Structure 1
Amino acid sequence: MLENLEIIIAMLEKVGMAALIVLAYRLIRYARFSIVRSSLAIGLLFGFGAVVTMVDPLEVLPGIIVDIRAVMVALAALFGGPLAALIASAVTIAMRIYIGGAGALAGCVSIALAAVIGLVYARLSGGRRDPVGLAILGLLLSLTLVAGVFAPVPIVSSTTPALIIRNLLGTMILGYLLAVEERREAEYRAYKREAERDPLTGLKNRRALEAFDRQVTTEAERRPFAVLMIDIDGFKSLNDLHGHAFGDMVLRRLAEVVRGRMRGFDLVVRYGGEEFCVVVKEATLHNARRIAEDIRLQIMEERFQAATEEIGVTVSVGVAEANASTLSVFHVIEHADKALYDAKNDGRNRVCIYSLETDRRQKLHQA
């Protein structure tokens, strides 16, 4: 009984130390690595955590040590996926071999089993990380005790209760702390996403343009892009005649058409009111004009159901292209807006391209 109590106390101390890796885990999540890089970092982190717990383990018999390495490896699988589990288990096994002792083989087998258990649990549970799910994973880790058959002396029978409690508490405590960090990160991303979205159309708002502008100003090698400024013709009259609900329907449909025409990495923004801004990345002026015409024609063919009749809607589009000297996306937006002004003055329902002639013509008009 005293032996089991000592094991439990020692393992709780290790959990307290290992919980410090939560801070590093937070940094990994906030860094927003790619999936592969994130899994790699998480695997190394949990592998390091397992190694730290093995540096000062509890030796129950000569050469027979116990710690929370299994918990670390299983949580690597749950929070980082297969690649993280592979890396964490490889690092941990390498350390166990380095430590040596009579129980080295049994220790290596238990580490491999912990990785398998973590991966199977994550797959079957859908990555469940609530307290009940973590408790289940902790109990499942007791299956690693079968590795005791590879030990030269029987250790499972006398320490089984303490080792089961070790796995249960270790997984629940550390897993809960990690899950809290994940929830915080998810909430932060959700709030950020909502702050950058237009609630009516689901498109991004001007904050997205500000973020893109920071990329434009910091990139040493500027990549070509073009801007479309799209405006619904006579939108105020549509609202006045058919109501704001009808206007909202038109805005949502235009957003769907534009988003459906663009590629996933292009930037589609509701710029304000009935005006939309599209940043067409890695595109020439010719390509941007063709896209603008496609959008204009598709909207012109649409019919919108008002209270008593179907209504046709048209859009005007201004197009401008960035060049090697472009320092801000807002300069290109300003040019596209001038081209849009031309499209409105030339009769609407058309696409106009910005050029130096655009500036000259508008200055004469203003004079």
Structure 2
Amino acid sequence: MIESFGILASMLEKVGLAALVILSYRAILRSRWPDLWAGPAIGVLFSLGAAITMIDPLVIGPGIVVDIRVVMVGLAALFGGLWAALIACVVAVAVRIFIGGAGVLPGTVSIVVAALIALAFVRIRGSRRDLGNLALLGLAISLSLSSVLLMPFDFVVNTAAKSLPALIVRNVLGTMILGYLLAMEERREAEHKTFKQLAERDALTGLSNRRALEVLERRNPNQETPELFCVIMFDLDHFKTVNDTHGHSCGDVVLARFAEIISRRIRGSDLVVRYGGEEFCVILNDALLSNAARIAEDIRGQLAAEDFANGVTVTVSAGVAQSSENEPSVYTVIKNADKALYEAKRNGRNRVEIHTE
């Protein structure tokens, strides 16, 4: 009985040490790697975790060691899928063979069996990370303990049988503790991404808000050879009248539709920002002033031809400006485009004006 508690205490200590894996897992979640590489990266992470726990294992007999390698392999399958489980399994097997001893064969078999059981478990139960599912996963991978039958009979009866309850509890608690902490990191990261998206996106139109311009300005410092770009500033004509006459719901439809018209006309490399209530800013990368003016005119014409509910029609005025080597700042060009926009308004609205020095 005392021996079982000793095994359990030692394994819980390893769980605490292995929890450092969480820091690396957070880095993977916050990286910009394609999804194709997320699984292998998680596999490498859990394989390193398995190797770390195998460096200083609990020795219960000559060449017979126990650790939480199967927990790492099981969690690799749950959090990273097939490739993660495969990588963790291969590395853990390699480390176990390198360590050597009388338990090499059953140790290797237990790792492979744990990986297969974990993958089958995820296939059947899904990738839920709640405590109940984690506990079931811990119980499932404990079936890998059957590999001890490959050991001599007297060892199985006198040593392994006594340690079996503690080893099962080790697997369950290890999977629950590490799995729950990793799941918490996932939830935090998901909330972080959601809040970040809400902070950077306009809820009505789905376009970027003015924060995107701050990011763009930081990415375009005063360089020796700055990349030239154009800015189009749009302002819906008499939009307050639309809201007052037909209601804000109609105004929202107009804003959403105008955002759609702009998005369909520009390239994927360009940026559309809802600059204010009815103001929109378009950043055209590597564009000539004449091309930017033509795009603005096309967008103006499309909106003017749009027929909203109850025969409502809306027009838009636009101002266009281009950056220069002397004026590489986004905000400077926006200011120039804004001057051209007000010129368009003074000249009767529903038109495009180009900023000239």
TM-score interval, normalised by the smaller of the two chains: 0.7 to 0.9
Q: Does 1:210 align with 2:210?
A: no
- SS at structure 2 position matched to 1:272: coil
Q: 1:266-318 CA distances to partner (integer Å, 9 max, x unpaired)?
A: 3221100110112234545455445434432332222111xxx3111122233
Cα distance, 1:333 vs structure 2: 1.8
The question of whether the paired residues in 2 share the 8 Å contact of 1:229 and 1:319 is answered with yes
| Unpaired runs of at least 5, structure 1 | 360-367
Q: Does 1:339 align with 2:340?
A: yes
1:277 corresponds in structure 2 to: 281
Letter matched to residue 180 of structure 2: Y
Letter matched to residue 350 of structure 1: R
In the alignment, the residues of structure 2 paired with residue 280 and residue 185 of structure 1 have an alpha-carbon distance, to the nearest angstrom, of: 32
In the alignment, the residues of structure 2 paired with residue 83 and residue 241 of structure 1 have an alpha-carbon distance, to the nearest angstrom, of: 59
In the alignment, the residues of structure 2 paired with residue 227 and residue 86 of structure 1 have an alpha-carbon distance, to the nearest angstrom, of: 50
Alignment of 1:109-258 (within 5 A): 109-151=109-151, 155=156, 157-217=161-221, 222-258=226-262
The question of whether the paired residues in 2 share the 8 Å contact of 1:228 and 1:288 is answered with yes
- The alignment's TM-score, normalised by the length of structure 2, stands at 0.86
2:68 corresponds in structure 1 to: 68
Cα distance, 1:57 vs structure 2: 0.8
Letter matched to residue 338 of structure 2: D
Cα distance, 1:286–1:108 mapped onto 2, change above 3 Å = farther
Cα distance, 1:96–1:258 mapped onto 2, change above 3 Å = same
2:272 corresponds in structure 1 to: 268
The question of whether the paired residues in 2 share the 8 Å contact of 1:285 and 1:320 is answered with yes
The question of whether the paired residues in 2 share the 8 Å contact of 1:102 and 1:152 is answered with no
Cα distance, 1:65–1:200 mapped onto 2, change above 3 Å = same
In the alignment, the residues of structure 2 paired with residue 252 and residue 204 of structure 1 have an alpha-carbon distance, to the nearest angstrom, of: 13
Aligned length: 353
- What is the RMSD computed on CA atoms of the aligned residues? 2.9
1:350 corresponds in structure 2 to: 351
In the alignment, the residues of structure 1 paired with residue 305 and residue 220 of structure 2 have an alpha-carbon distance, to the nearest angstrom, of: 36
Letter matched to residue 42 of structure 2: I
Letter matched to residue 341 of structure 2: L
Letter matched to residue 230 of structure 1: F
- The alignment's TM-score, normalised by the length of structure 1, stands at 0.84
Cα distance, 1:243–1:28 mapped onto 2, change above 3 Å = same
The question of whether the paired residues in 2 share the 8 Å contact of 1:63 and 1:101 is answered with yes
1:99 corresponds in structure 2 to: 99
Q: 1:200-246 CA distances to partner (integer Å, 9 max, x unpaired)?
A: 32322111111121111287875554322222122122223323332
Cα distance, 1:67–1:274 mapped onto 2, change above 3 Å = same
Letter matched to residue 256 of structure 2: R
The question of whether the paired residues in 1 share the 8 Å contact of 2:231 and 2:284 is answered with yes
Q: 1:53-93 CA distances to partner (integer Å, 9 max, x unpaired)?
A: 11111122322211111111222232334443333333322
Q: 1:250-271 CA distances to partner (integer Å, 9 max, x unpaired)?
A: 1122123323444555322110
Cα distance, 1:351–1:83 mapped onto 2, change above 3 Å = farther
1:9 corresponds in structure 2 to: 9
Cα distance, 1:234–1:324 mapped onto 2, change above 3 Å = same
Q: 1:26-49 CA distances to partner (integer Å, 9 max, x unpaired)?
A: 344344444355545433332222
Cα distance, 1:285–1:167 mapped onto 2, change above 3 Å = farther
Cα distance, 1:352 vs structure 2: 3.5
| Unpaired runs of at least 5, structure 2 | none
The question of whether the paired residues in 1 share the 8 Å contact of 2:222 and 2:328 is answered with no
Cα distance, 1:16 vs structure 2: 1.4
In the alignment, the residues of structure 2 paired with residue 178 and residue 37 of structure 1 have an alpha-carbon distance, to the nearest angstrom, of: 18
Cα distance, 1:81–1:281 mapped onto 2, change above 3 Å = farther
Cα distance, 1:65–1:286 mapped onto 2, change above 3 Å = farther
2:299 corresponds in structure 1 to: 295
Letter matched to residue 280 of structure 1: L
- SS at structure 1 position matched to 2:220: helix
Cα distance, 1:112–1:219 mapped onto 2, change above 3 Å = farther
- SS at structure 1 position matched to 2:132: helix
In the alignment, the residues of structure 2 paired with residue 31 and residue 126 of structure 1 have an alpha-carbon distance, to the nearest angstrom, of: 24
Q: 1:324-357 CA distances to partner (integer Å, 9 max, x unpaired)?
A: 5553221222232233234334443333444xxx
Cα distance, 1:277–1:138 mapped onto 2, change above 3 Å = same
